[in-house]
Chains A and B, each alone.
Chain A
Amino acid sequence: MTTLATHPFAAAAAAAEVTTADVVLWVVLPYLFLTVFVLGHVWRYRYDKFGWTTRSSQLYERRLLRWASPLFHFGILFVFLGHVLGLGIPKSWTRALGVSDGLYHLMAITIGTVAGVSTVVGLALLIYRRRTVGPVFRATTRMDKLMYLVLAVVIALGMWNTIAGSILNLGGHYDYREGVSVWFRGIFRFDLHPELMADAPLGFQLHGMAAMFLFALWPFTRLVHVFSVPLGYLWRPYVVYRAKARTTPGTRPPRRGWEGVQRPKEHVGPF
């Protein structure tokens, strides 16, 4: 560990008995994947606005999609909210709000299970549909297939952790709010705790690792549509007007130095 002595994470690494492997897995990789996630999106947005879409396949098939897609999407939305709560909010905060740990746990596993089951059922139906409906399968890219695989693994591991870890308490009780969550928040606060992940049960380790990999994959898949949630629609005026700009499709900006003659703005006002 001598090389780590000058490393900024040395303090964290030295605080507990952590091996280099732990640091690589739970400190280096997360930052690496996070960087890919952020820069990947920036790059994709600049490089490929045209490809930034949900790539809906509703036109090909709608009977299955009508059930599967809302099941999956609403399920995963609740799962996401659950993760925001579970990973993002320290125990002390919910306690301060007067939510006892028992109540919290009960809510987490009931809502979590419903959301999880609808996500899994939805995803299973969607994958079944994708494989068996000819036109949908033909419209599936290689990236889609990889994404579906990783997504399915992440969700399956997450379900396993909920059922086996939190409900059935197989292999003893593990409170992720004291472990995984602290590690997770630490990533964003530069308060690094690789030892917490190293101590976590294998199911949580695998789920975390697979999820991080999914985040690294994210900008290069159709998942980018998540960042297009059109909430602004609720407030904007119904009809959008736009003046023909230089960047309107079908026109192009003039070359530098060839801009047309432009009248300077008229002077208004007393000064």
Chain B
Amino acid sequence: MRVMAQMAMVMNLDKCIGCHTCSVTCKQAWTNRTGTEYVWFNNVETRPGQGYPRTYEDQERWEGGWTLNRRGRLQLKAGGRLKNLLTIFASPKQPSIDEYYEPWTYDYERLTSAPLQEHTPVARPKSLLSGQDMAVRWSANWDDDLGGAPALTQADPVLQKVSDKVKLEFEQTFMFYLPRICEHCLNPSCAASCPSGAIYKRSEDGIVLVDQDRCRGWRKCVTGCPYKKVYFNHRTGKAEKCTFCFPRIEVGLPTVCSETCVGRLRYIGLVLYDADRVLAAASEPDETKLLAAQRSVFLDPDDPEVQRAAEASGIPRDWVDAARRSPVWALIHRYEVALPLHPEYRTLPMVWYIPPLSPVVDVVRETGEDAEDRGNLFAAIEALRIPVEYLAELFTAGDVAPVTAVLRRLAAMRSYMRDISMGRDGDPSIPAAVGMSAAEMEGMYRLLALAKYDERYVIPTAHAEQAHSLEELATECALDYEGGPGMGGSGPFGEGSGRGFHNDPIAVENFHMLAQRQTTDTVADPATRKARVNLLNWDGKGVPPGLFPPRADEPGEGPGLREPDDAAAPAVVQPRPVGGAEAGPAGAGTEPRRDGGTP
């Protein structure tokens, strides 16, 4: 037994409202740079839907993840090591930018610099790759909320597997959101595909990272990852991926996506696992048994035997304690409601999901029946093949039994807790029907529904022996750093080369980026990459020069919205909202003015 600790996440899909806050804050924190415009370490996709990049789940096409070879041994789906090396010059299975989307900005400057004319000037979309005008045809969430359905939805690889068996009736459509980050797999195929060995799994907490100094841009990891969660930075020529916000995790803070999640549906905690069992679990021949195989890799932190072995493996005591309190462990093991995403990829992913009950509840409610009644919900779970089979393709390699079991538990919790919140006594037969005790059910309710901050996130800090080297805890100011990072602009050998990028603390890099954003952004002009107002860049503080036309009393350049020379003209040409500044019933400016005040 070789005990290792893994930082893991669970997302409760029932609560995701598809607001994309997680994606945007993640982007703001990590991929808000030239070269990563198209990159979303966190993305939220509507299911059924094609996902991002499009149809990434079609492994017959993209050849990500692992497979068993003829002798039943685990092998990369894209081929053996030699083939991997021989295809290094043009990676054959890498999604092109069309599968992601061509990133763009708008020519905002047109809006203010256009001469006075009959027609309102428009801000055309400009490609961030070529700088040319472009037609926007796709994005990271183009089919959001089933937009473009059924035409676009039909291309969903998961749906295609299901609809062979079950006819898809789009009148009875269902949907839910699937937020995705890198899975920080126990058996990461991205790392296994990397010829340079630049992708590594941190032995302390299992976070999978790309060593930017060792990555040589072979792009094999992009093919290797079945979730397509390694991205190629097209300016620096290096692979980048979700970092599980390790600088935050190291000091006990949750990841940015979790911290900002509006639905408060993400849980972060440790699990302990036996590294010696990983290979055997990933090589399980029967795909539908992979879920059980992956569960068997985990070690119970309450087991004294495991605790001793953990100590022997150098896992600190407080980490073992954190593993015992881990919400992730509780949801996977104690309540058994979390399932891994696509276990059939055999990477042993470590971001698990609680499948959504809401498609079932919605259908029951639409029929006018009581959507909180156990009997109705249980019956609906059995009857509604489409959502259940679809969920099974996502989470259990097609085996409906575990999905049904989870949904029954969630349904049971719903009807059990209704009684209690109505002031009645809980019906103990309800938890019993799904194999739980009343106390367990209430504990699950507390974790899932109340979801207190310190119960959602149980993150032990990185060790005090290392504390001095952790930037956020450093006793010196983290910014007294020689020759600050060279953000933006090209070094002598291309984007971002040179000493500026040597081993920068990330907080320092962010600090400089922010400072630069606040002071140096100019108008949108894709022609010069340095001078771009990408509104995603703007943190709302200060006014980027060039965002607004020069004021009337300042000498402006070019034909802006300036006061005409004619002295008779009104002094201010600025349009005002119809309601003026007075407060209306719903706040400032909501009530139309009656006095005919000219806007």
Contacts and interface: CB of A to CB of B under 8 A. Distances in A.
B317 interface: no
Contacts of A44: 493
Given A53-B237, A138-B130, A69 B493 contact: no
Contacts of A259: 468
Contacts of A62: 90, 94, 96
Contacts of B219: 56, 58
Contacts of B88: 230
Contact of B499 (A47, A54, A60, A141): A47
A186 interface: no
Interface string A249-271: 11111110011111000000000
B465 A262 contact: yes
A243 B196 CA distance: 18
Interface stretch (A105-113, A208-216, A218-226): A218-226
Contact of B216 (A134, A225, A253, A254): A225
A244 B217 contact: no
A72 B469 CA distance: 46
A225 B494 CA distance: 14
A50 B201 CA distance: 20
A262 B465 CA distance: 7
A7 interface: no
B276 to A, nearest CB: 13
A104 interface: no
Given A53-B236, A258-B468, A242 B218 contact: no
A78 B432 CA distance: 71
A49 interface: yes
Contacts of B247: 250
B505 A251 contact: yes
Interface in A125-160: 134-135, 138-139, 141, 143-144
B216 to A, nearest CB: 4
B378 interface: no
A228 interface: yes
A239 B347 CA distance: 11
A50 B505 contact: no
A59 B239 CA distance: 12
B566 interface: no
Contacts of A96: none
Contacts of B497: 48, 50-51
Contact of A260 (B82, B467, B481): B467
A251 B496 CA distance: 19
Interface string A234-253: 10101111111011111111
Interface string A63-93: 0011101101110000000000000000000
Interface in B454-468: 462, 465-468
Contacts of B238: 50, 53
A170 B495 CA distance: 46
B203 interface: yes
A60 B234 CA distance: 8
Contacts of A188: none
A220 B493 contact: yes
A245 to B, nearest CB: 9
A57 B234 contact: yes
Contacts of B503: 247, 249, 252
Task: Report which residue of B89, B127, B213, B501 has the largest number of chain A beta carbons within 10 angstroms of its beta carbon.
Answer: B89
A31 interface: no
Contacts of A247: 503
Interface stretch (B151-159, B161-169, B186-194, B553-561): B186-194
A80 to B, nearest CB: 14
A57 B96 CA distance: 10
A244 B89 CA distance: 32
B506 A58 contact: no
A240 B212 contact: no
Interface string B190-207: 011011110111111000
- Interface size grouping (class) on chain B: 35 or more
Interface in B78-96: 81-82, 84-85, 88-92, 94, 96
B489 interface: no
A55 interface: yes
A246 B491 CA distance: 26
Interface string B210-241: 01111111110000000000001011111000
B203 A249 contact: no
Given A239-B201, A242-B201, A252-B503, A230 B195 contact: yes
A235 B130 CA distance: 40
Given A65-B90, A139-B234, A222-B493, A230 B505 contact: no
A269 to B, nearest CB: 18
A83 to B, nearest CB: 20
A253 B132 CA distance: 45
Interface in A88-123: none
Nearest to A241: B203
Task: Report which residue of A52, A56, A258 has the largest number of chain B beta carbons within 10 angstroms of its beta carbon.
Answer: A56
A228 B216 contact: yes
B405 interface: no
B563 interface: no
B246 A260 contact: no
A55 B499 contact: no
A252 B505 contact: yes
B487 to A, nearest CB: 13
22 contacts: A47-B499, A50-B213, A50-B498, A51-B496, A52-B213, A60-B97, A60-B129, A65-B90, A70-B89, A135-B130, A141-B493, A143-B494, A220-B493, A230-B196, A233-B85, A233-B195, A240-B200, A242-B201, A243-B204, A244-B203, A246-B469, A254-B469
Given A251-B471, A252-B505, 7 more contacts: A58-B91, A70-B90, A134-B129, A239-B187, A249-B213, A251-B469, A258-B475
Counting from the closest, the 4 A-B pairs by CB-CB distance are: A51-B497, A230-B195, A238-B192, A134-B130
Interface of A: 44, 47-60, 62, 65-67, 69-70, 72-74, 134-135, 138-139, 141, 143-144, 220-222, 225, 228, 230-234, 236, 238-244, 246-255, 258-262
